[in-house]
Structure 1
Amino acid sequence: MRKVFEEELKNLHYQFSQMGLMVSESIYKSVKAFTSHDKELAKSIILNDPVINELQVKVERKSIELIALQQPVSSDLRRIITVMKACADLERMGDHAVNIAKATIRGKGNKRNYAIEQNLADMADDVKILVEKVLTAYVELDIAAAKDIAAQDNTIDEMAFKIHAETVDEMKKDPELVLGATNYILVAGNLERISDYVTNICEWIVYLETGTITELNTHNTLDDPIL
């Protein structure tokens, strides 16, 4: 019976990894579509989003089933809670990738600023790397890596702020840029939110190992473990 339970847990973590790879690819493609004004690529991201959503639902249903039928001990329950919460964060990342894809379709034909678009592409590369790193940290249960990844969220915040400021300045100089430039701010904001969800997953990695919820960016740790 225990062997079957362990296999089911292992499958949950595998599904999380697969979902993470899909989300990471969506993030990369969404910004690529935006900066190249590739409407068809943007549509493919939107069409693939239900697949990501369905995988998240499957993981959640299986997790609830394991809790209800297996009555896991505290350490196993932490593993189940972690995969449920982390999958929910991945699903939200996918939603933000869809938002970027929709901005591509909405902004087709608007006047462009290639310097800002390059900054967005650079920001997207950094965010994608963080997503890939957090997936690895999750699989390897690497708390040190999780804390380091979470600390890099501040850099992403700074990039988003810089792009926002640059965009506002350019809109003041060139009124024809206003319509398209609002999408630059939207894309930067969505990338910043994706980075926030990466931090959330880092916190769940720490929780999985320690049973303590830790807000990594504020160093605010609850005194009592949940489980």
Structure 2
Amino acid sequence: MTQNLQATVAQLKESLLVMASRAEQAAQRAVKALLRRDDALALQVQEADPAVDQLQVQVDQLAVELLGRTRAEDDLRLVMVAMKIASELERVADEATTIARQVSQLNKEPPLPQCAAIPPLASLALGMLKEALDAVVRPNPAGARQIIVRDKAVDSGHKQLRDELVRYMQSRPETIARCLHLMVIGKSLERIGDHAKAVAEFAVYLHEGQDVRHAGLAQPAQCPG
């Protein structure tokens, strides 16, 4: 590998790491803004979203550049995975922005009693995201596989939150608008879990060359499309 090619590969990795850090930070701050009813923090999350979008463009540009300059299997796998993960991270940041916008609306109204299902759901989703990103940076396909399985717990937590909010709206109709904001937030947390699962699947492919997205199909490893 030439020095110029090595430099481009290093730049791609660095851009992806920065994007991962920004997306994870956005999700964490959005949840913190929710739990603390922090308008300023919610606004920060919304204002930071364009920077994540720009990083995705940068990752894609570097990946396309590398596609035209290398045919090494490991490099091609990195390029493909980087583009896929960047797409998932951009969506994580979008969901964080959605949460932040809902928080801004919620904070205009009197606070509701804390929904018991929100903190554990948020903790599950954020934990999956952090560990999935760690599995990309530090080769840990076994850990990534465990993250994939945990997505079911996030789905269950989301259902629990939704059921709790429905009961609350039925008993106190005056809270319907606020509960609907929380339902949107719950769906965004569930989607962050989905994106974390996808990142974990790509981590397995990056480090082992095995596509585990549809494991039940028992197909040979191939480039995820």
2:45 matched to 1:48?
no
Deviates more, 1:101-110 or 1:182-191: 101-110
The residue that corresponds to 1:120 in the other structure is: 118
Q: Report the Cα distance in structure 1 between the residues aligned to 2:100 and 2:33, rounded to whole angstroms.
A: 7
What residue identity is the alignment partner of 1:29? R
The residue that corresponds to 2:219 in the other structure is: 222
CA contact (8 A) 1:123 1:159 kept: yes
The residue that corresponds to 1:85 in the other structure is: 84
Distance 1:143 1:153, change over 3 A: same
CA contact (8 A) 1:127 1:194 kept: yes
Runs ≥4 residues deviating over 6 A: none
* Post-superposition CA distance 1:146-194 (Å, at most 9, x none): 1011111111111100000000001000011101000111111000001
The residue that corresponds to 2:19 in the other structure is: 19
TM alignment of 1:52-63, pairs within 5 A: 52-63=52-63
Once the two structures are TM-superposed, the CA of residue 52 in structure 1 deviates from its matched residue by 0.8
Once the two structures are TM-superposed, the CA of residue 111 in structure 1 deviates from its matched residue by 4.2
TM alignment of 1:57-206, pairs within 5 A: 57-68=57-68, 70-116=69-115, 118-206=116-204
> How many residue pairs get matched?
224
CA contact (8 A) 1:99 1:190 kept: yes
Deviates more, 1:171-180 or 1:4-13: 4-13
Once the two structures are TM-superposed, the CA of residue 141 in structure 1 deviates from its matched residue by 2.1
* Post-superposition CA distance 1:46-99 (Å, at most 9, x none): 10001111111101101101112x132222101111011101100100000000
Q: Secondary structure at the match of 1:190?
A: helix
CA contact (8 A) 1:23 1:90 kept: yes
2:39 matched to 1:39?
yes
CA contact (8 A) 2:133 2:200 kept: no
Identical amino acids, percent of aligned pairs: 24
Distance 1:76 1:160, change over 3 A: same
TM-score normalized by structure 1?
Answer: 0.91
Q: Secondary structure at the match of 1:152?
A: helix
Once the two structures are TM-superposed, the CA of residue 204 in structure 1 deviates from its matched residue by 1.0
What residue identity is the alignment partner of 1:100? I
CA contact (8 A) 2:147 2:200 kept: yes
CA contact (8 A) 2:141 2:208 kept: no
Q: Report the Cα distance in structure 2 between the residues aligned to 1:115 and 1:176, rounded to whole angstroms.
A: 16
Q: Secondary structure at the match of 1:215?
A: coil
TM-score normalized by structure 2?
Answer: 0.92
What residue identity is the alignment partner of 1:25? Q
Q: Report the Cα distance in structure 1 between the residues aligned to 2:45 and 2:192, rounded to whole angstroms.
A: 16
Q: Secondary structure at the match of 2:117?
A: helix
Deviates more, 1:16-25 or 1:57-66: 16-25
CA contact (8 A) 1:213 1:221 kept: no
Distance 1:31 1:224, change over 3 A: closer
Q: Report the Cα distance in structure 2 between the residues aligned to 1:154 and 1:187, rounded to whole angstroms.
A: 18
Q: Which segments of 5 or more consecutive residues in structure 1 lack a partner in the other structure? A: none
